[in-house]
Structure 1
């Protein structure tokens, strides 16, 4: 795959924007979705495709909302550092801005925690296969310490190759996983599937939403495009790539391994060169993703604490503390599947399904009001939302609220449940020491 050179002044093309979308989204879903589908039964494959379609639609209307905002408001033109928050402010004032900001940072901080947990799980599996035994909890500490110096650099705004590298790594891992499952299929003589219940379905839904969630960064991608209105084409192409990456692994894992699937499908693969290659590819992807995902949180913290933009000891200390917070949460809740469901059902559901609908309707209303004030009939044409689209918007809004609440509550119950509760790493370490 040849990586095209992207010039900021020219803007992103539709294919390059689609790769950014796919590179941001595809990753953890490859590992966690097979188990999520097993928890819902074969209908989980349909649910995965349906959620991908809904995410595509809400991504498109989020782009439309930003396009309208850029037409109506001067401070929405050109480059904006925090476009989603600004869109929330234009739609619903300070409350909208703060709500989006909180959800964004919860999602990104939680995403960094999940990526750290997955990377540690992968490294424990890989090193154990090579004959060494380093516990998962220590791998969390090792990886966090390794990442700290990389957070001391400025911002990832110039890391244009990361998206292409992440997409290529995910695509390569997908091919290898499917091949490995195919080679292992003859050894799985009797595949059985477990029954589904409401809590399992709700948890799986949260995982699916997390695996398809990329909306927090969509307005940023759109601003860098040559034409804002082309963003809907990029969204469609991006999600097509994501589904093509997710479906083969998810289907193969579900039909071959069934109820023996682990939370991380890599733990089901037979040991050998193929599985080691996948572990390395996915882990590299996760390590890069942690630095990128945590960057907006770091920038917000530094802005609040008035940390200078130049490289100083204050930057080093601040970013060390942020990584330490990520590490603490990971050591406290060392089960990434529960966090996937919680984040997917709460903050990410709001950003993926609820906010795009509300902001889209509000921006259309503001555009109608602006057109009526200046009696611009030409501008008013095509502004009103068709009835069928209004009905669809309200259905998605209702579905997002119900599904988000169900997934969040189920995830919280699962995290604190005695049957699935995992002791924090530092408790286990202190117990072993005594």
Structure 2
């Protein structure tokens, strides 16, 4: 996303200049930007990956109703994603200063609906999500590398791999915006698709072995008990799997035709479901209550598991680059950095990478962190904000802006979505905080006890 002038960044509600003189400019196609296909790749690439590894565990915690939760979250994300796209399209078409590329479109929507408080709340939610996801991606990628190399007797602490991989990715994070690295999005999507296929095949090959283990487990009298906390932890985890809404407006702002973003959202969600459902359902069906937090820890060791681990790790590093980009841009805006590549951009984005690495070293175990991010910020970004913002726009500009109207059939749908988001989000956040504060879940930071941190976090098993 190209940076706007400082005046355009701050002046989100003021429409200086003649709107009539710019009508033709509004509909003129940009000379460059993402197409619908590349937008689909970015949405799919940044939403899938780490979450798919935890889906079988989420289905286990919720029971088979977890499959319904996956469909429900996908459907709501598709709807609210298109609603968010409608919000940005309406603002862009009716506020001339927003037709330039915008570095923070989601907070800008919040500003134009609820003023500075709206922008502040969205900023906190969006960038908490992006920051938390960056930490998680780095930890899982490092754990996967540690696990793979341990098979060839290369025994190096997870804590070192976090620094090595984080440092290696820093130069790729210097690229300006998504349209500058669309091949990374393609790589993120393709690697995940192939990895999901391999996970599915290996799980089917493990049916007999997993059945015997389950029978032995039952004979020992060990039965997994589901309850309030496990259900809403599962809900938070599934929400995390659809946690890319924070980056949706950023992707839309980089499209040649932003008004076609809803089409990209629907296609991307359908593609994501084609990956999530087979892995989530098959993982729980095969391994049952014995399925691990990370599906890789349940798969039988072999070539398919190794290749799938490599592919998912590739996805994680690709997704890390995609997701850190909007996080970087928000810190660059107050500094008025030029669009051109330069030393200041390198320093700012490298500093962000250092902070992410430090956080990962401080929190090497991250299972409940995912549920916390999913239940709090992701719930707001996905379930609550889009509906509330669109509702507010229709109330404010319904009589003057074309398209700023809400059909009557949408009203109860928005109410239901907001209600589910608030109740589910609060419950999932409460369950996650309870899990985090559990003394048995505490793992010392890498700089306190590097051995304990590596043993607990290795391989991404905590995911």
Q: Could you tell me the TM-score, scaled by structure 2's length?
A: 0.84
Residue equivalent to 1:401 = 422
Q: Does 1:208 align with 2:238?
A: yes
Residue equivalent to 1:29 = 51
Alignment of 1:87-166 (within 5 A): 87-166=109-188
| Alignment check: 8 A CA contact 1:148 1:323 kept | yes
CA RMSD of aligned residues (A): 2.4
**Partner residue of 1:70 out of 92, 109, 131:** 92
Q: CA deviation at 1:166?
A: 1.1
Alignment of 1:419-430 (within 5 A): 419-429=440-450
Deviations 1:31-53 (A, max 9, x none): 11111111111111111111111
Stretches of structure 1 that go unaligned for 5 or more consecutive residues are 1-6, 372-378
Q: CA deviation at 1:406?
A: 1.3
Residue equivalent to 2:326 = 296
Q: Does 1:60 align with 2:94?
A: no
Residue equivalent to 1:20 = 42
Q: CA deviation at 1:383?
A: 5.0
Deviations 1:235-264 (A, max 9, x none): 211100000011111111101112222221
Deviations 1:163-207 (A, max 9, x none): 221111110101111111111222112436722111111111111
State how far apart, in whole Å, the 1-side matches of 2:110 and 2:309 are: 39
Q: CA deviation at 1:227?
A: 4.3
Sort the Cα spacing of 1:99 and 1:429 in 2 relative to 1 into closer, same or farther, 3 A. Answer: same
State how far apart, in whole Å, the 2-side matches of 1:188 and 1:93 are: 55
Residue equivalent to 1:364 = 394
Q: Does 1:238 align with 2:259?
A: no
Q: Could you tell me the TM-score, scaled by structure 1's length?
A: 0.89
Aligned residues: 417
Residue equivalent to 1:374 = none
Q: CA deviation at 1:156?
A: 4.3
Secondary structure of the residue that 2:123 maps to in structure 1? helix
| Alignment check: 8 A CA contact 2:393 2:404 kept | no
| Alignment check: 8 A CA contact 1:125 1:267 kept | no
Q: CA deviation at 1:61?
A: 1.1
**Partner residue of 1:181 out of 203, 226, 240:** 203
Residue equivalent to 2:3 = none
Q: CA deviation at 1:350?
A: 1.0
Sort the Cα spacing of 1:13 and 1:395 in 2 relative to 1 into closer, same or farther, 3 A. Answer: same
Q: CA deviation at 1:29?
A: 1.9
Q: CA deviation at 1:12?
A: 4.5
Q: CA deviation at 1:146?
A: 2.2
**Which shows bigger deviation, 184-193 or 260-269?**
184-193
Residue equivalent to 2:302 = 272
Residue equivalent to 1:341 = 371
State how far apart, in whole Å, the 1-side matches of 2:198 and 2:320 are: 23
| Alignment check: 8 A CA contact 2:187 2:318 kept | no
State how far apart, in whole Å, the 2-side matches of 1:200 and 1:406 are: 11
| Alignment check: 8 A CA contact 2:55 2:237 kept | yes
| Alignment check: 8 A CA contact 1:45 1:251 kept | yes
**Which shows bigger deviation, 311-320 or 253-262?**
311-320
State how far apart, in whole Å, the 2-side matches of 1:168 and 1:41 are: 30
Residue equivalent to 1:326 = 356
Residue equivalent to 2:12 = none
